[in-house]
Homo-oligomer: A and B are copies of this chain.
Amino acid sequence: MERINYIDGGVCAAKGFRASGVHCGIRKNRTKRDLALIVSDRKAAAAAVYTQNLVKGAPLLVTKNHIADGFAQAVICNSGNANTCNANGIEIAEQMSDLVAMHTGIDAADVVVASTGVIGQPLEIEPIASGMPALTAGLAYDNSCDAAEAIMTTDTIAKSVSVEFELNGVLCRMGGIAKGSGMIHPNMATMLVFVTTDTAIAPCMLQKALSEDIKTSFNMVSIDGDTSTNDMVTVLANGMAGNDEITSEGQAFDVFCAALHAVTAKLCRLIAGDGEGATKLLTCKVTGGKTPEAAKISAKSVICSSLLKAAMFGADANWGRVLCALGYSGADLDVNKVDVSFASAKGEIPVCRNGAGIEFSEEKAKEILLEKEIDILVGLNDGEFCAEAWGCDLTYDYVKINGDYRT
């Protein structure tokens, strides 16, 4: 039974998880929620991965400490301020945990804390403190959408995915919300993603599943090549589905990992397609890699090329930029064996074979590239390994959004 079905519910799809999101005043725009809370009815196994940026947001350090024992019960996250590079950042992040404890009765040491927004501006605790009553009053078993909205920064859509799957005949659920858009080039971690599940799974196995998953999910997304200071993915698993706890590798663990990947891979596509200023979701699918690394590095390099991203914005079949990006990627490949095609809902068109251009219809290529979701198909013809990476086009709006983000 490896059937995984997409369902509604976001982080509330799993049993025993409530969520809420309010505007507390960190942001000036009163119509934009800026504070989110997710609470499990029971203490849950917890796992997380963090940005590899040496500059780390204060909330990450506090969270790392809080889930060191493998458990957590709540997540609080604000948008509008990253609480990073601030002298009192740790203190503020701890105060956020204390506020959750005070208003929910959950142990402050079981709170996951996250912040996203501008780096290097002091985060005041007052708006958060005054927003807590409304935030906790809003907690409901069907309110994932408010939390998903509250963690958005320049995102244009709230990002939520949930699935159900069976473990030895027991129905389990898993759901996640994500904040993406800018400063997205995860390195062993990612943007902000909160996943919940009612699966019973030991903390060490949960961490193992997450650490493995990100290699082919979030670590294969790039919006702009900038690895954020506040990237974090956390998973809370409260066991309320009632399955036999997963404590080792085996069939149940494999199904759990497949379900996790169903959630994370879809969140990746949502994040990439909603990159800052993006008009297109780009997926680079590499086949025929000599090694898994050759395939992964190739896919990521193509997705990261500013020149290719701009060409895709212009629906220009400039495949030379794909070859150029493969050539400087550092991957072990033979450029004389490379085939390239572009594909979308309008069809597929080969543009390069054995590293050299072939004749193709510019009109047909244009028709394919004018679609919203473009696949860049790269055949390395050098082995059996595959990889997929996600990104978006580079547009005027990316420049606009980032030319004056703070003010």
Contact = CB atoms under 8 A, between A and B. Distances in A.
The 8 A-B pairs with the shortest beta carbon distances in the complex, nearest first, are A119-B320, A314-B403, A55-B327, A310-B402, A227-B328, A53-B327, A120-B357, A314-B404
A314 B325 CA distance: 28
A120 B356 contact: yes
A406 B310 CA distance: 12
Contact of A119 (B119, B324, B328): B324
Contact of A84 (B313, B316, B320): B320
Interface string A345-371: 000000010011100001000000000
Interface stretch (A71-79, A167-175, A258-266, A301-309): A301-309
- Where chain A touches its partner, the secondary structure class is loop
Contact of A406 (B229, B318, B335, B407): B318
A15 B161 CA distance: 70
A311 interface: yes
A187 interface: yes
A328 B402 contact: no
B396 A320 contact: no
Contact of A55 (B84, B187, B318, B355): B355
A326 interface: yes
A400 interface: yes
B85 A118 contact: no
A324 B357 contact: no
Contacts of A320: 82, 84-85, 118-120, 229
Interface string A277-320: 00000000000000000000000000011110011011011111
Interface string A379-407: 00000000000000011101111111111
Nearest to A88: B356
A183 interface: yes
Given A324-B55, A335-B54, A356 B87 contact: yes
Interface residues of A, number: 65
A399 B54 contact: no
A318 to B, nearest CB: 5
Contacts of A313: 399, 403
Contact of A225 (B55, B119, B304): B304
A112 interface: no
A333 B55 CA distance: 10
A323 interface: yes
12 contacts: A52-B328, A119-B321, A120-B323, A225-B225, A229-B323, A311-B402, A316-B404, A316-B406, A317-B406, A396-B399, A398-B399, A399-B399
Given A54-B326, A396-B400, A86 B311 contact: no
A324 B53 contact: yes
Contacts of A399: 310, 313, 394-396, 398-399
Contacts of A307: 182-183, 224, 226, 402
A187 B352 CA distance: 25
B55 A224 contact: no
Nearest to A334: B54
B224 A54 contact: no
